[in-house]
Amino acid sequence: MSSRAHRLGVIFLFIFTVAAFGCASFQPRPMDQVPFKERAQTQQEGKIRVTAAVLSEEESQEIFDVPLYKKGIQPIWLEIENKKKVPLWFLPASVDRDYFSPLEVAFANHFGYSDTANKKMNRYFYERGMGMYIAPGEVRSGFVFSHLDEGTKTFNVEVLSADEDRTFTFFIPVPGLRVDHQEVDFETLYPKGEIVSHDEEGLRKALASLPCCVTSKDGKENGDPLNIVVIGDGKDVYHAFIRAGWDETETIYGASAIKTGISFIFGGRYRYSPVSGLYVYGRPQDIALQKARETIHERNHLRLWLTPMTFEGKSVWIGQISRDIGVRFTTKTIVTHKIDPDVDETRIFLVQDLLYSQGLAKVAHVKGVGAAPIAEPRGNLTGDPYFTDGLRAVMWVSSEPVSLEDFEWVDWEDPVQQLSTAK
């Protein structure tokens, strides 16, 4: 009897031990067993080499054994080689102005009751932080803990030495999102014979004669106005908008629908939520981008379609931008986003957004939308009213930063004269 009780006691003790320590063990995987470096990008300038990789959600979990993405933290692995004869200083704030410190990340992920595991975790994060000092001839690597961005992550790596400052800019795709524009085959959208190259006057006319608005799938109903034109190759468009803080958009598939549903019900943020299709050239948008707001759940949306035109060798895109200002109930789709009826205000926001992020080389205005005064607004496909001066903003975008001195106004239509029409 007593031996049975003893045995039971041992079993209980065993179970208790497993329960107490089993859950709270900190077991990161050795870094060389996680192949994230295969996706690393390298840049070399002068005698400085920078290699960078962004960890995916799974890779972060494996390497750090805690769900960093769930806390909004994204580790960036860096390796900096200094072939100079003087020391080099790396500034983690160049990667993310508000980066998380290693021990801060550890603290945010501490386990409930295991002091041992937490101490081990502190040490682990601390030792893997990227230091700031790279001695002459040294190669140094480690992690910077940044704020989470899915889709494409863009960041700078700035290094200082006694004789120079250098900035390396990275654009790194993060695995995990199925982004809409990756599913479009831009090469086969238009046969070669269909693409027209325009001079400036021809471009202006061609842009003014494009359809006023997006349509429904069958092309029978007009929706939101096509109030933006973007000129630049894929890389220019992509870099300019990503740098200005625009997020890419997931295509509609099972997982994205679930993520949208969860964020709608629980009010969380799903920055990459799929957007509905609007139609131009008989097809839905080629690219949809969205920009989240700081303090409210609403966001700005823009859609772009590649046109069969080029200007000075660059692609020309037609598009539409709207600012969501809340949700409302409709008979058609049950719930829809209410857009700001002052679509010109939203258009002006975008011009400033690209100007301040140095992605805008030139801007012009062209007719084509048709004016709708505030007293007689037009409606989009979900019945939201909008009013406009009837102009399109034409934006030449650049993948390289453009300073204000190099920025140009192109004197086509004058948006100032249109002001009285709309108001």
> What six digits make up the tokens of 102?
């290693």
> Strand (E) positions, 253-371?
279-280, 283-284, 287-292, 299-311, 314-330, 334-339, 360-366
50-58, 195-203, 310-318, 339-347 -> range binding other proteins (CB under 8 A): 339-347
Q: Does 293 bind other proteins (CB under 8 A)?
A: yes
Q: Which of residues 355-374 bind other proteins (CB under 8 A)?
A: 355-356, 374
Q: How far is CA 189 from CA 194, 282, 285, 296, 388, in A?
A: 10, 12, 12, 37, 31
The answer to whether 23 contacts other proteins (rule: CB under 8 A) is no
Q: What is the DSSP letter of 352?
A: H
Give the whole-angstrom CA distance, residue 388 versus residue 375.
11
Rounded to a whole number of angstroms, the minimum distance from the CB of residue 339 to other proteins is 10
**Beta-sheet strands, E only, within 148-267:** 152-160, 165-173, 196-198, 213-215, 222-225, 228-231, 247-248
| Shortest separation between residue 217's beta carbon and other proteins, angstroms | 28
Q: Nearest distance from residue 356's CB to other proteins, in Å?
A: 6
Between the CA atoms of 44, 50, 54 and 55, what dihedral angle is there, to the nearest 10 degrees?
130
Report how far residue 60's alpha carbon sits from residue 74's, in angstroms, rounded to the nearest whole number.
8
Chain centre distance of CA 423: 34
> Interior CA angle at 124 toward 121 and 130, to 5°?
135
Using an 8 Å Cβ cutoff, are 203 and 363 in contact?
Answer: no
Exposure of 141 by Cβ count < 10 A (0-12 exposed, 13-18 middle, 19+ buried)? middle
Q: Could you say which of 9, 258, 352, 400 contacts other proteins (CB under 8 A)?
A: 352
Residue span binding other proteins (CB under 8 A) among the ranges 1-9, 105-113, 249-257, 393-401: 105-113
Q: Is 99 in the site for other proteins (CB under 8 A)?
A: yes
Instruction: Quote the least distance from Cβ 127 to other proteins, whole Å.
Output: 10
* Residue 340 binding other proteins, by CB under 8 A: yes
* Residue 296 near other proteins by CB under 8 A: yes
C-beta of 157: minimal distance to other proteins in Å?
A: 13
Stretch binding other proteins (CB under 8 A), from 84-92, 220-228, 359-367, 392-400: 84-92
Question: Which pair of structure tokens corresponds to residue 302?
Answer: 């823009």
Min dist CB 272 to other proteins, Å, is 17
**Residue of the chain from 41, 43, 114, 276 that contacts other proteins (CB under 8 A):** 114
Q: Which is nearer to other proteins, 205 or 423 (CB)?
A: 423
In this structure, is the dihedral angle defined by the CA atoms of residues 339, 340, 342 and 346, taken in order, positive or negative?
Answer: negative
Nearer to other proteins, 118 or 380 (CB): 118
Q: Which residues contact 344 (CB under 8 A, 6 or more apart)?
A: 227, 387, 388, 389, 391, 422
Question: Please, what is the minimum distance in Å from the beta carbon of residue 186 to other proteins?
Answer: 31
CA torsion 207-213-215-220 (nearest 10°) is: -100
Residues of this chain, 141-200, that bind other proteins according to CB under 8 A: 147, 165
Among 126, 261, 262, 283, binds other proteins (CB under 8 A): 126
What is the Cα–Cα distance from 6 to 98, expressed in whole angstroms? 56
Pick 35 or 46: Cβ nearer other proteins? 46
**What tokens appear for 352 in the block?**
């400033």
- Ranges within 3-22 binding other proteins (CB under 8 A): none
Interface with other proteins, residue 335, by CB under 8 A: no
Number of residues that bind other proteins (CB under 8 A): 64
Q: How far is the CB of 101 from other proteins (least distance, A)?
A: 5
Rounded to the nearest whole angstrom, what is the least distance from the CB of residue 77 to other proteins in the complex?
18
β-strand partners of 392: 366
Whole-number minimum distance, CB 3 to other proteins, in Å?
A: 36
Give the residue among 296, 185, 287 at the shortest CA–CA distance from 246: 287
Window contacting other proteins (CB under 8 A); options: 94-102, 169-177, 231-239, 255-263: 94-102
**Mask for 301-330, x = binds other proteins (CB under 8 A):** ----------------------x-xx----
User: Would you tell me which residues interact with other proteins (CB under 8 A)?
Assistant: 71-73, 87, 91-94, 97-104, 107-108, 110, 112-115, 118-119, 122-123, 126, 129, 131-133, 135, 147, 165, 293-296, 298, 323, 325-326, 338, 340-342, 345-346, 348-349, 352-353, 355-356, 374, 404-405, 407, 409, 415-416, 419, 423
